[in-house]
Each structure stands twice: as C-alpha cells, then as structure tokens.
Structure 1
C-alpha cells in the first residue's frame, strides 16, 4: 500500500545554523536525531536520475519513490519494505515509461545524519516536519568512485495540513538563507553531470521531439499515480509527437517515422474515449448550468453523471490496459531509438515540410466549398486536423524562424480553436440525441435535451461564420515569403 507525501527540498551551507520557523501559530520543537542509510536504485544508464526521479530503499522507511513536479518541489510515494531487496512490482510499474523494463539495481549508498524538527500548532498537532540532513554518499556497482558530503533541508507537510502552509514555510526558509535545491534527489546530487543528457544536437526538431517524449513519459507517470488531467496530457504529447513525425518524416527517417507515427495513432485511439468522455461531460453539465431552472425537466444532471461514470470507468480501464501492454513499451523504445538517431537539421531543410503542411491546410479548406450538413461538418473537422498539424509544425520550428512565423501561427491557431469548438458541438449533439433516445425509453421528459440540441446547432452556425472570417485573415495575413502557397 502506498502513501503520498508533499514536500519541498532546499540546500544549506554545512556551517549554517538550522532555520527557526516558529511564530504565527507555529512551534518548532527541539531536534530528534536519526542515523539513516539508504540504497538508491536505477537503471545502468541512470534513466530515472535523468528524469529527476529517485528510488531508494531504507530499512527504516521502506521504499520511497520521489517524483519531481517543479523546481524544488516533489511528491514522494512510499511503499512497505518487503522481504528482500528486489524492487516491488508496483514500484517498477510506476516508472516503466522511463526504465522501459530494464533492470533496476543499487547504484549508490547514502548515509544521512538527520535532525528532525516537528512544527506544531497551539494544540500540539503536527503541521509539518523540518528535516536537517547532513549527507555522505558514494557510488556503487563498479562506477567511477565518487564520494561527497553536503547538507540539505526537507520540509514535509502533514497529511491533513493545507497546501498553503508549504508556501508560507518556503518564504520563511528563504529569508533565513535556504535556497531551492538544485538537484531533485540525493542521487542526482551525488552523480552531478553524470546524468546530463548528452545526446547530440539541441537544434529545433530534435529538441522538440525530445521535449514531447519527456512529456509523454511524465504524463504516463501521472496517470499511474492518479494525477488530474493525466489522460489529456498523455494524449496531447502523443498527438504532438505523431504530428511532428508525420510533418518532418523526410528529415527524421521516413520509414521509421511512419512506423512510430502509426503506433502513436494506436495509442491515441486507446486514450481518446476516456478523454472525450471527460470533456463531453464537463461541456454538457456547463450547458445545463445556463438553462433556466423552469426549463430543466427531470433529474438530468444525475442522468448525465450516471451515464458518464459508467463510460469513464470502462474507458479508463481501457487506457490502463494499453499502458500496461508490451506494445506500449515497444513503442516507447522505438521513440527513444528514433530520437537517438535523429540528426541535426539545417534551417533550410525545415522550410519544405512547413510549406507542404500549409498547402494541405489550404486544400482542405478549399474542399469545404459547396458542402452542407454532415458532409460539411466532416470536412471542417478535417480542416481542423490540418490546422492543428500546421500549428504544431510552427511550434517545432519556432526557435529557428522566431518572429517570422508568429503572425501566421497565431492565425492558424485561431482557425483551429474555432473549428475545435465546432467539432465539440457536433459531438455534443450526437451525445444529446443518444441521451434523448435513452431518456425517452425510460419515460423521462427529454425536452431539455432537445433544447440543448437546438442551442448547439445555432452555436455551430455562428462558429462556421467565425471560421470564414478567420480564414480570410489567415489568407491575407503576414507570413514568410517562403511559406506562400
């Protein structure tokens, strides 16, 4: 069984006095000393440390997995010690996107002389714990011998404490000489630059691909620990990777890029229903909020909640099954290999894929002429997808072309967002039709569903008019000469 801890880490000089945080309802107790020893686990090439993740085993506290969320701030998941020193299966599963099923082994030993100060309120209830750690560490497992000593502070909130307390304690510690920890874990502090990413060029395209692969892996971790919005973040990262590979496949390696893009499409398809259910429920409940109470008949909100809860549970299980599959790990390995092999790309070579992507957007828009009804809705959805790919392509090359693409990208984004809302109305109307049919079969009054359907239909008409205006702006707007199509 895991427990979750919120904490913040700081650095402090070996000679400095421990900060005093008493005052304004907080009492800082005298320190209690503890002698701690922990073994840190990682892959042979330190994939966890590269990602700012630390896994340690201590006879006193069991297994601890530290996950970084932002500079100096992290979350710790703690697990029972177990019968042996083998990494527990639930822990290994959480970091699977980073280890890619490679073996986790002891890589360093850290000995800590810890002085803990309880921070309590007037009633003696623990609000947080300040740990003053004096650390000695060494690398294990045949690595180059490295010994080090340093000092750090950890502030750990009690489970029932308000998150705002962490920010308050942070201000107090900074006033007293503490600084945000440069390293996310003791292991990374010990290894130093040994965990730096040394995989070649930092040019636009390779950097963009690495960034979104990292986001995909972090969203995977978020999904496994139950973080909010993790399905959405997974889906977005997969979509951006796939889009970039499709756009720039001649520069990455066409055959490999196409193969990875197809697998990313599979992953997106496994994640989409869970995310779509979340979004659709939120939109429809918001629409209900805008309906006057005298026009709401029956327990519609409860009906939506019941239906979406059933759908959400099914689709989240589907997403979890996909992320547990061998196919998914194979995909992650393929992406990692592709990134290792992606060469530096000269500026001029980025222009042709950009022009091709823009041309597809313009052709898709031209194809909407003369259409109506369901055919027009389908064609506009295609324009939206082409606009999204063009926007992502502009994001990928932004460090290279900078201001020259800014206005064009802004106009493309406006088109994409308007058509995104239009597609939402299409999806909502289909859902409302489904709810009306089911509600009627259960002898419910479905008038309100029909009312919402009519509102969505009218909104879609307005969005099509807005798209027409935004498209004219895009056509006439500023862009580099080489992007003329």
Structure 2
C-alpha cells in the first residue's frame, strides 16, 4: 500500500516541458510504453466514486493497482503482483471494492495505451519529484466503443517531506501553459462517468446543509470500508463513528429529512457489528497500558496472556465477523439506502426554511434533551437505576455534540463551542462508564483465572485502579456540569 501525492495537468499536443534545472538535479527523460486495462461494473459504479482498478504492463510498477478516492490531496494506492489472467480480478483487490460493486460483476471497461516520458528531480540518490509526460490513447469497451487521444502531465511527490518542491514544479508547468486537470484520473477523462445524483434542495436552506452533511458522512463510511477489510489501525473506530454520526443526524434533523427510521435501525445494527471488535481493541489496549505501569513483582500469574493474547484472539474473531457482514446483502442494502437518502431524500417542511433560523433551533433542542436526561437521572433515588439513567445523559450529550459539529461549518463559532461543551460532558461520563465496564470485564477474567487455579492478585489490583478512576470521574461530574450549564447559556 502507498500514498500518492500528485498534481495532474492538461497540456496541448505541442506542449514543451519547461526547464526544471535549478530546482534539483534533473535525471532523464526516459521513455517507455504502458498498457493498462481498467475494471469496473457495467454501470461504472467504481468510476462514479473516484475509484480506479487497473492491470498494467510496462514501466517500473507493472501489476494491479487499486486507487481509492483522493482525500486532502492524497490518494491511497494498493498494489498486487501482475497475474496472467486479464479476466479475473485478484480476490484481494475485488474484496476491497465490494462496497462499490455490491455484488455486480467486475469487467474490463477500458484500455489505455500510454507513451510515458519520465523526468526525475533528485537529491543525490534520493528521488524527490517525478514528472511524467503522457501521450494517451484510450479505448472504451462495451456496446458503444470509442477511441480518444490526449496528452497530460503528472507531477508526483516521491519524498513526502518535499511538498514545497512539488508546488514549485507545478508553478513552472503552469507558467509554460499547463492547466490543472479537472478529471480525477485518466479513466475519468475517458469514460466521463455519470456523477452521483444530488438532492434538489434550495441554496442556503436547512435541507441543503443537512443533506450535504449526510453525504459527507456516507463518503466517510465508504472510505473506511476497504481499511476495515484490511484491519488497518483505527479503521473500525472511524467507520463506527461515521455510522453513529449518520444515525445521530437523522434523529436530530428528523424534521428536515423525514421517514428515516428504517435506515436509522440499520445503522444501529452496523454500529453494533463494528462495536464488538472496537470494544475489545480498546479494552485490550487499556489493560496493556495498566499492566505496563505496575512494578514487575505486582504482576502475578498468566494475566498478561489472558488480558493480551486471549483478548486479541477474540478481537480477531470479531474482525472476521465484520468482514462477513461487509460482504452480505444486508450491508449492501444499507449502502443503497444511504445513496438514495442523499440523492432523493424525503424532505420535510423544515427543509425549505433558512438554514441559520431552523438549525440553530434544532441545536438548542438537542441540548435541552441533555438537561432533561440529567434532571430525570437525578430524580431517581435508587443508585443503580440512577447510574443507568446517567448513561442516557452521556448518549444525549454525544448526540448534541454530533449535531453541533454538523452545523459548525454553517453556524460558526457558537456551534464549535457547543460541540466542545457537549464533548466535555461526554468525556467525564465516558471515563466513569469505561471504568465500570473495565471492572466488570476484570471480574469475569479473574473468575476464569480462579477456576483455572491461577493467582488473581493482580486482577484485584487492576479492579482497584479502575474503581478509583471511575469514582474520581463521578465525583468531578457535578463541577463539570455546573460550569457547562453556565457556558451553554452564553452560547444559546
């Protein structure tokens, strides 16, 4: 896997690469031919999402390449060695585009033959920037075949620390007549895939703001799908957050986008599937950090195995269940429903109202839910039932935070402030809840160790540490709550 940082430019057939000397040592030019077959579904679902899957011969990087959509100027590229077959996509790569293909067949949709001339800027033996001058012949496969020829220049960063040099190269290329390419890739330029449909909302309306936010979170969820399948760091957490933000937004803005209860329920299901592995990941890291702080003589018995390797094994089993879920029809149906949600949403009367007027009122209403949940919890005499009710306060605070974050680009600093205040409430209550859950997990593991005849001294020590953490957060909450109420009144 690699990260691409590059700039693409359209140029005329008689364009001349400018003199790049003075920027770094210039090596080249060197020319060779590339032949690439591109794969997609018959209706070009990958291309519509900015995903490129190709099999390429020639050059220094022959093989299969999967390029995922650009985010903040960076594209993720995953490679696979060249295979003999041109009909069958390697299973490892086909797996990573399931969220886009959703069961449809992957087939050759285009062929690009490129005469590439490469110049490299170097610092001694270190490559800094590669400039590729491409003369391209593109052939579209399918019921209406066509041939298109064009020329383009790519400047790709080879040393991630030299972004300033890439900018200077781009400046010289543009001064010589190159223009930034509007197409995300050669394939997009050739196929011109139909863009994803956009919802018919009024500019500046509450509907426009909320549907755009929902679309951004659908994109975020899809972006994490291949990373989850590869079990990359933090991917499950980020995908779970995207699903939670979507569900929270649909609840909070139910008067703007209506009739979303079924989608909400499916997002809850997806969050639960992702949550099992994520919770095990968090608790394993938590126990590992706690054990690392103890003096060696205080760590007795095979506790590190039980709280480390054993939990990791369960986590890996949970990952397998996630992968199975992400390849199932129910998941594909949810993704289809999310596509429909952002392209043809069922808009309520509130959607047509001016964004600032309507959305500020929604943010205030969501904070009111937090205070009502808190008042309800404090009115309960039974301590155990009150603790359960305080968990509802935490969930309400999380929803208020997500709501404010969704509105921050539109409503500005007040929403940013409200999001931070809600996060403060969520964090303190979360610290307490996490400590309680950790104690319960440790007690279960200690019982298993006891039945196996193992020394359980360290379990008791860790339970004491977690109890202390939870009690400190519990004791600190009234102060945080009081200070937060004062600040919220100033915001709302």
Aligned to 1:188: 188
Shift, 1:440, TM fit: 2.1
Which of 425, 428, 433 in structure 2 is aligned with 1:423? 433
Mean alpha-carbon deviation: is it higher for 177-186 or for 80-89? 177-186
Local SS of the residue matching 1:101: coil
What is the CA–CA distance in structure 1 between the aligned matches of 2:85 and 2:193, rounded to whole Å? Answer: 34
Matched, 1:54 2:52: yes
Contact in 2 for aligned 1:428/1:456 (Cα 8 Å): yes
Distance, in Å, in 1 between the alignment partners of 2:19 and 2:54 is 25
1:357 to 2:366 alignment? yes
Matches of 1:223 and 1:402 in 2, distance apart?
Answer: 33
Question: In 2, Cα distance between the equivalents of 1:341 and 1:351?
Answer: 25
Partner of 2:261: 258
Distance between the aligned counterparts of 1:196 and 1:327, measured in 2? Answer: 22
1:173–1:249 distance in 2 versus 1, CA, 3 Å:
closer
Query: Residues 182 and 420 from structure 1, CA distance in 2 versus in 1: closer, same or farther, beyond 3 angstroms?
Result: farther
Equivalent position of 1:466 in the other structure: 476
| Counterpart position of 2:409 | 399
Cα shift at 1:212: 0.6
1:161 matched to which residue of 2? none
Contact 1:116 1:129 in 2 (8 A): no
CA contact (8 A) 2:131 2:153 kept: no
Quote the residue 1:368 is aligned against. Answer: 377
Shift of 1:228: 1.4
Alignment partner, residue 162 of structure 1: none
2 CA distance for matches of 1:133 and 1:250? 53
The correspondence for 1:442, drawn from 439, 452, 456, is 452
In the alignment, the residues of structure 2 paired with residue 74 and residue 395 of structure 1 have an alpha-carbon distance, to the nearest angstrom, of 27
Partner of 1:284: 287
CA distance in 1 between counterparts of 2:19 and 2:393 reads 61
- Of residues 441, 461, 469, the one that matches 1:451 is 461
Is 1:167 matched up with 2:160?
A: yes
Q: Secondary structure of 2:288's match?
A: helix
**Aligned equivalents of 1:91, 1:18: Cα separation in 2:** 40
User: Secondary structure of the residue that 1:239 maps to in structure 2?
Assistant: helix
- Which residue of structure 2 aligns with residue 204 of structure 1? 209
**Deviation at 1:183?**
5.2
> Contact between 1:391 and 1:409, CA under 8 Å: does it hold in 2?
yes
Question: How many correspondences in the alignment?
Answer: 463
In the aligned structure 2, how far is the partner of 1:267 from the partner of 1:417? 24
Q: Is the 8 A contact 2:405 2:415 kept in 1?
A: no
How far the C-alpha of 1:111 sits from its partner, in A, is: 2.4
Of 329-338 and 52-61, more deviation after overlay is shown by 52-61
**After superposition, where does 1:132-143 map in structure 2 within 5 Å?**
132-138=132-138, 140=140, 141=142, 142=144
Residue 209 of structure 1 and its aligned partner are, at CA, apart by 0.5
Corresponding residue of 2:420: 410
Gaps of 5+ in 1: 157-165
CA contact (8 A) 1:10 1:72 kept: no
Distance 2:131 2:168 in 1: 17
Query: Is residue 80 of structure 2 the alignment partner of residue 75 of structure 1?
Result: no
Deviates more, 1:405-414 or 1:240-249: 405-414
Secondary structure of 1:368's counterpart equals helix
Could you tell me which residue of structure 2 aligns to residue 163 of structure 1?
A: none
Deviations 1:86-120 (A, max 9, x none): 54554333112123334545444422112457899
Change in Cα spacing, 1:57 to 1:293, as seen in structure 2 (3 Å) is closer
Match of 2:152 among 138, 150, 153: 150
**In structure 1, what is the equivalent of residue 177 of structure 2?**
none
Q: TM-score, normalised by structure 2?
A: 0.82
Is it true that 1:235 corresponds to 2:233 in the alignment?
no
What is the CA deviation profile of residues 382-406 of structure 1, one whole-angstrom value per residue up to 9, with x for unaligned ones? 2111110111112222334323434
CA distance 1:107–1:371, shift in 2 (3 Å)? farther
TM-score (norm 1): 0.83
Of 49-58 and 369-378, more deviation after overlay is shown by 369-378
SS in 1 for 2:87: coil
Structure 2 Cα separation of the partners of residues 360 and 435 of structure 1: 37
Q: Distance in 2 between matches of 1:237 and 1:354?
A: 19
Partners of 1:223 and 1:230 within 8 A in 2: yes
Stretch deviating more after TM superposition (87-96 or 142-151): 142-151
> What is the alpha-carbon distance in structure 2 between the residues aligned to residue 394 and residue 119 of structure 1?
46
Structure 1, 279-288 or 174-183: larger mean CA deviation? 174-183
- Asked whether the 8 Å contact 1:404–1:480 carries over to 2, the reply is no
